[in-house]
Amino acid sequence: MRVTFTVNGRPQEADDVWEGESLLYVLRERLGLPGSKNACEQGECGSCTVRLDGVPVCSCLVAAGQAEGREIVTVEGLAEHARERARAAAPRTSDTTGASDPSGSGPGASGTAGTPLDAARAWRAHGADPHTGDGTELAPVQQAFIDAGAVQCGFCTPGLLVAADEMLERNPNPSDADIREALSGNLCRCTGYEKIMDAVRLAAARQGEAV
């Protein structure tokens, strides 16, 4: 069957999709978007987390046909998603705060704007890896993962980024308990949870500074 849906803001069409196929398989194998990882295929690990009409879900448990007409955001679209969000929020925040500088809302500025934490500056990774950014600005949460050293083997990272970004969208000021709960469906087997917590706290702090 054919499945037509929107992925990262672009209309997509997948043909010859088997009826029992998962959204994850379609993303990875038919649309060439391997960012969402395939690990457990039973919703246990969260590596395949994507946004489905805005809601974080395990794409391995969504039947491809259920995505028909829906909007998907994968880790590949996370930076653009974050930029759009910042753009949409910018006029509102300047309305309420009056004095805030709107220049930070320009294209490409959101990833680097608001990094005043001294510790965070010390953590900043050096050099651009052509495989991570492809020359585009990262989402704040992605940059925070790099800066906090929250990436080890990297397999769980895409799912964690999507889940963490969604939580920060809903809850800009999360407690540690909020972060743990939001990420409780994402397994990291390198035992890197403390750095991951650091990264999400850092992203939240930068987000708070930017507003």
Partner 1 sequence: MDFLRPASWEEALAAKAEHPTAVPIAGGTDVMVEINFDHRRPGHLLDLTRIGDLYDWERGERSVRLGASVPYTRIMSELRADLPGLALAAHTVASPQIRNRGGVGGNLGTASPAGDAHPALLAAGAEVEVASAARGTRMIPIDAFYTGVKRNALEPDELIRAVHVRRADGPQQFSKVGTRNAMVIAVCAFGLALHPETRTVRTGIGSAAPTPVRAAAAEEFLAAALEEGGHWESGKTVPPSVARQFAQLCSGACNPIDDVRGTASYRRHAVGVMARRTLMWTWESYRGARRTTEGAA
Helix axes 140-147, 78-97, angle to 10 degrees: 110
Q: Which amino acid is at 205?
A: A
Q: Which residue, 63 or 117, is less far from partner 1 as judged by CB?
A: 63
DSSP 3-state assignment of 3? Answer: strand
State how far the Cα of 14 lies from the Cα of 28, in Å rounded to an integer.
11
Nearest distance from C-beta of residue 133 to partner 1, angstroms? 26
Residue type, 154: G
Integer-rounded Cα Rg, in Å, for the chain is 17
Q: Where do contacts with partner 1 occur on this chain (CB under 8 A)?
A: 1, 18-20, 22, 41-44, 46, 49, 55-58, 60-63, 65-66, 68, 163, 181-182, 184-187
Tokens 């803001």 identify what position?
Answer: 9
Q: How far apart are the first and last CA of the chain?
A: 46
User: Judged by CB, which is closer to partner 1: 54, or 102?
Assistant: 54
Please report how close the Cβ of residue 136 comes to partner 1 at its closest, in angstroms: 26
Which of residues 113 and 204 has its CB atom nearest to partner 1 in the complex? 204
**Smallest distance from the beta carbon of 165 to partner 1, in angstroms?**
13
CB of 186 to partner 1, least distance (A): 8
- State which residue, 55 or 122, has the beta carbon closest to partner 1: 55
